[in-house]
Amino acid sequence: MRILVVEDDALLGDGIQAGLRQRGFVVDWVRDGVSALHAIAAEPYAAVVLDLGLPRRSGLEVLKSLRQEKNPVPVLILTARDTVEDRIIGLDAGADDYLVKPFDLGELSARLRALIRRASGQPAPLIAVGALSLDPAARTVSYRGEPKILSAREFDLLQVFMSNAGRVLSREQLASALYAWGEEIESNAIDVHLHHLRKKISPDIVQTLRGVGYLMPKEAP
């Protein structure tokens, strides 16, 4: 799942980016409020980690602007100031969760998984589509009760399909959900990963709709 981290502190931003990547997230990182709004307008983030004290536009202004535009992307705010008022203002402005610095990266990633889960209408920690079951925290997959060994990208691709079962996804949408800025993408990367998924799980898990995109049916095989 692709996450945007908005944090102006270089050391902290670097640490969050590395920690989330280590835990299987695809991560972009910007350091000010204006860049954050541009990035969110351009890319389909599953969630945003937003510092409140930022140059150019504050985290609170970014949040208010997103919600004014009816952008529903889940937002977790980071606050250094452990005051109740700060958290109340953030939550009232449309934040979905918060963490007070310093925080544990394991807790941050668990909270992000919970936010993404709620946003996609899947209250259970496991994502299930037909006979497929995926555990985003443990990063494991089973099909008809049998564990499947997938590469990191195959897992990410499957998670995107399962979170969007019943919806047609274009190749561009898939690529931007799976790759951060600056990552090399081979032109046929999505097709190669999908080929492997079909081979490892079932040829019918995802349909190719020529010229349109790809679809995992809601009642997957």
Smallest distance, Ca ion to C-beta of residue 56, A: 12
Smallest distance, Ca ion to C-beta of residue 8, A: 5
Smallest distance, Ca ion to C-beta of residue 53, A: 4
Task: Give the footprint of Ca ion on this chain (CB under 5 A).
Answer: 8, 51, 53
CA atoms within 13 A on the CB side of 33: 17
| Cβ-proximal residue to Ca ion, closest one | 53
Report the residue number, 59 or 74, with the smaller CB distance to Ca ion: 59
Smallest distance, Ca ion to C-beta of residue 190, A: 36
Report the residue number, 8 or 135, with the smaller CB distance to Ca ion: 8
- Site of tokens 């990266």: 105
Separation between Cα atoms, residue 78 and residue 135, nearest integer Å? 26
Separation between Cα atoms, residue 96 and residue 119, nearest integer Å? 10
Report the residue number, 59 or 136, with the smaller CB distance to Ca ion: 59
Q: Which residues of 28-52 are buried (b: 16+ CB within 10 A; e: fewer)?
A: bbbbbbebbbebbeeeebbbbbbbb
- Number of other residues whose CB lies within 10 A of the CB of residue 68: 9
Report the residue number, 8 or 43, with the smaller CB distance to Ca ion: 8
